[in-house]
Chain A
Amino acid sequence: MGSALIGDEIRVSIDCDAAIVTARQKGRALASQCGFPSTDLAVIATAISELARNIVRYAVHGEIILRLLDDNGKRGVEVVAVDEGPGIPDLALAMQDGYSTSGGLGLGLPGTRRLMDEFEIVSDFGKGTTVTVRRWKR
């Protein structure tokens, strides 16, 4: 990656509805402190909300980790969503617009990818899922 971490990371344990709100508020505050414009703050907070809801919905318990990054003077925010839930059996299918197993709009993962600049997902069926997203300041 080559980007350095600035300051401490923030960890938010995700186990209920209220934690979704806490995670996105902390993410917004962190991005604001980094100087992101208000449009980006809403975008980042929305992405965190979607990732945190995925944890509550599918894995019941997990964690959202928030970090500020510096890549040769370029500042960014990294959000990592980790859970030890059932994992996603078919990643390609889960990344399709409109696919949902929980009766939602099925926009969570593909929508989050559209909101952010970088998107990585690792899922071990039966072991859990880690989604890492980043957004860089322009």
Chain B
Amino acid sequence: MSNTQELATATEARLETTASRLRELVSHLRQQRAQLREEWARLITEAKLLTAMTKEEIFAEATSVYDNYVEALETGTYEALQAYARNLSERVIPRGVETHEVVGIVLLLRDVLARSLFAKYREDFNKLNRILDAYEPAANRIAATVAVGFVQERERIIREQQEAIRELSTPVLQVRERLLILPIIGVIDPQRARQLTEQLLRGIRTNRAKVVVLDITGVPYIDSPVANHLVQTVEAARLLGAIVIVTGLSPEIAQTLVNIGVDLGKMNTVGDLQGGIEEAERLLGYKVVPVSETAAQPA
């Protein structure tokens, strides 16, 4: 009975001392703020980290990171630091700051602070050990929080950019009333194929198109699932009342289409884009008249 009680008291005491050690640590870091921050900024420049930023900018960020760092040590909560890390990443990623730089500066700060602790407690080795016991887990958790925040932000930005690029990669151009052109350049993967279909079908509806020229001159090859998808897109367009003319089929793509057994009666193909547009205009009832002929007509 008395044993258990003693044990509980000991645990409580240990918890309390961890807290009191962290308090001691925090007050030390606050006192030494100016000097340690300076030291850290110097090391960042020396290690050639954050080269995309000016000295003043590095110093300003270093101040914020320092204060957030100390606050996380003091409160044991990481939400504010997490929010700051995300915000920082949002600002520095467009300027080309890399993951290793952000991780690097946080690790440098950890080392700067640890060294100042060595200096302060070098006379009392036992105390130094106890202070480090309290400091290290917190410092590691801070480093992880900042690094993860940065990587997540980077991934979010990459996802957004991929989405934007994908949309740019299938432009729907209206060249005349009722006539759309979709010039496709580059490899069509399944995801791009799906997007192409959606944009083509929506484009038909919003532009009230009757003819669509799908130019695949810039597509090096397609595999059979994508070829099938293209054929289905042509058929879906017909259900909306539009005709799709495919132009610029390479010999390889022609081979793929023949291999999957495409019903060529359903595919309207013309050799090149120019020919495709002429065919489209014919279908739309436009008449192409040479300029000299119109000029020669009497007024």
Contacts and interface: CB of A to CB of B under 8 A. Distances in A.
In the complex, A touching B, CB below 8 Å? yes
Interface of A: 39, 138
B214 to A, nearest CB: 19
3 contacts: A39-B194, A39-B198, A138-B191
A83 to B, nearest CB: 30
Interface in B41-55: none
Interface SS majority for chain B: helix
A138 B159 CA distance: 13
Interface in B180-214: 191, 194, 198
Contacts of A39: 194, 198
A61 B122 CA distance: 83
B107 to A, nearest CB: 30
Interface of B: 191, 194, 198
B212 to A, nearest CB: 18
Contacts of B191: 138
B58 to A, nearest CB: 36
A39 to B, nearest CB: 6
The 3 closest A-B pairs by CB, nearest first: A39-B198, A138-B191, A39-B194
Nearest to A38: B198
Contacts of A138: 191
A138 B190 CA distance: 12
A39 B233 CA distance: 13
Contacts of B194: 39
A138 B198 CA distance: 14
A39 B198 CA distance: 8
A123 B103 CA distance: 57
A115 to B, nearest CB: 12
Nearest to A37: B198
Contacts of B198: 39
A138 B162 CA distance: 14
A39 B191 CA distance: 14
B88 to A, nearest CB: 26
A109 B198 CA distance: 25
B235 to A, nearest CB: 13
A98 B142 CA distance: 62
Nearest to B232: A114
B240 to A, nearest CB: 13
B159 to A, nearest CB: 12
Nearest to B198: A39
A39 B201 CA distance: 11
A109 B27 CA distance: 71
A58 to B, nearest CB: 28
B266 to A, nearest CB: 17
A30 B191 CA distance: 24
Nearest to B197: A39
A27 to B, nearest CB: 21
A138 B191 CA distance: 9
Nearest to B190: A138
A42 to B, nearest CB: 11
B83 to A, nearest CB: 22
Nearest to B228: A114
A13 B32 CA distance: 73
B48 to A, nearest CB: 38
A138 B193 CA distance: 14
A29 B99 CA distance: 42
B197 to A, nearest CB: 8
B199 to A, nearest CB: 11
A138 B194 CA distance: 11
A39 B205 CA distance: 14
B294 to A, nearest CB: 46
Nearest to A39: B198
A24 B194 CA distance: 23
A41 to B, nearest CB: 13
B120 to A, nearest CB: 46
